[in-house]
Structure 1
Amino acid sequence: MDTPQNTALTRALTELPGPLPARGVIHIAIRHTDRFTVVGNDLAQHPGLSTTAVGFAVRIQSLPQGTEVGIKALAARFPEGEKLIAAALRELETHGYLQRARTRLPNGRIVTRTVFCNQPAALLRPRAAAAPPQLPPTAGTIATPAPVPEPMPQPEPEPTVEPEASPKPVPAPEPVPTPGPKPAPEPKPVPAPDPPARQATPPQAATPQDHAPAAASPFVRLVPPPTAPKPPRPPLPRPRELTPELERISTALLSDLRHHSPQFTLSEDDVRELVPGVAAWLERDAHPDTIRHTLTINAPEPVNYPYQFVKHRLTVLLPPPLPGAQDLTPPPARRNPVTPFQTCDGCERAFRAPTPGHCRDCRAEDEQRATAA
């Protein structure tokens, strides 16, 4: 008897209109006026998300723009652990609700940028189909407000027509002293404004709505356009001259591949078409064992198309021609002339000069003596 009981819900049930279900949940929806977040049923009832992932999606959606929503930030804000939060974020990332990317700031610092979308499926369809769901958020968190905004724009054009019709009967009393024009203005305000208002409003209201999604649809489309056709594959290499000797060795090498690897069993037509490619390798002084090893090494299991596989390797892995003898000759060494040392005939000091004689000082003294004499 001393346990407190909350009778507020019991009183609220008595105020609900209509018969109530005998079992199951009964909703008492009270309209929020502030501090509320609109959550769609596609997230709240998502069959592929766990209850933990849905709960963190609602919490992230309720946070203000620019709030840190990393694993450590959420663990510091909420009681769940980092492992549980990381698993929930991976679920949201798998189903497209969350996207995390590492970006570099202008100052060189690398940060994680998180993007959250409340309706990822709406990004893959045109804006015309995604625009109507944007109206229910203004009605609160009620799950079925879709039919409410549709009739709202219809009564709006009607009051615009009524004030137009009201001023028209105002000038009608002006011609009251003249009995003749009275019957003329009476039929004008009644039939005239009604048909033009009904004919003008629907096309004017429909055309901008039809053109707006068509112009904005390219910005919503996230599916990439069809890729361009692939460039043509390079042709099979051919030798400068297919001699009988090169043809014989190439045919034997291709026919013998099945002895080393049963996957490379080629038909006669395949061998005949691949002979020029092997001859081009032999012409560039490639050893037959090297060619066999290159064609069969690290082959997938199984090789479904041996002809295409051998042709691809003969084309892509073609070695360059061997350099000639002149190409391998090192350039001649550059010889810098070195002036030898000489011994001065006057002072016997060593100096560099191409020929023997006097050093610079001795030559200067000889010139001074000659000028003095």
Structure 2
Amino acid sequence: MRFGGVIHDNVRHARDFLMVGNHLGRNVKLSPNAIGLSVHIQNVPEGGEISVQSLYERFRESGTSKATIAKGMRELEEHGYLSRIVVQDDEGQFATVTISHNYPARYRKPADRELPPLRRTPASPVAAEILALLQDAPPTGAEPPPRPPVRPPSQPPVRPPAPVRPPAAAVPQPRRPRPAPARPRALPPVPQPLFPARALLETAWTVVAGLRREDPRLLVSEADAEHLTSGVAAWLERDLTPEAVTLALTRDLPPEPLHRPAALIAHRLTHDLPPLPSFQPPPPPLHPLQNCDGCDRAHRAPQPGPCPACTP
């Protein structure tokens, strides 16, 4: 049994991993520098900057020089792992887009183009258009014909990363406004007097203010008393005394507490309103007794003189 060599202690990744083909890791024509650059480039999110300068800033601490990075990128281009294309935006600005191929044989060998389509990661509209152009590209080693700059649809090829929002706990929540206090419902309408004389209204006010003496639950506010005074005045116009109106409003009250005594009084003033008294002609005046000058009989007359029988 042979001892030595590598032993793989592998763990199956469920998230945050990158799939790399064996054609890259076992490619003897690529230097370790090129293989490492390809793995890093495939891990860069779409829209990220890939250039010699950006890669040098990324690996500066490892001692990698710009020349080493440029050499590794040329190797990747020669073996089909990288390709570059010039695009132009709507404002006429030119930019170089670097395309990373994790399956370079798809574009290098014409025979591989007959393979069934591979399952791809969803790309942006700009990347989809650029990849469609590369489907018709010639194999590596042939002189590619000059291509005019490609104008991508309405959006730039490189998008800045989205800003990181602070956690929800760090954002102060606005204070909710306090709900306005509910307004009390308006009292039911009450009858109105035909002739609201001042003396009549004063008597009616006295009746409303004195209801609490008959029952403490009939205590009403000043605003409610002004509303009820007109209804009591309409009752007093119907030849009712203040005592009779007080009795009609305070008798047979429910035994439970009264939540709105003014509404109960307004209901009774409207529902139990008595009818107007019938019209009667005034009685004739009563004259004093007078003695008749002719027959000396007593009769009623406004002035002394003969009675109707002795009147010629």
Please give the TM-score of this superposition, normalised by the length of structure 2.
0.35
**Greater CA radius of gyration, 1 or 2?**
2
Please give the TM-score of this superposition, normalised by the length of structure 1.
0.30
Instruction: Report the structure, 1 or 2, having the larger helix content.
Output: 1
Query: RCO (CA 8 Å, sep 6+): is it higher in 1 or 2?
Result: 2
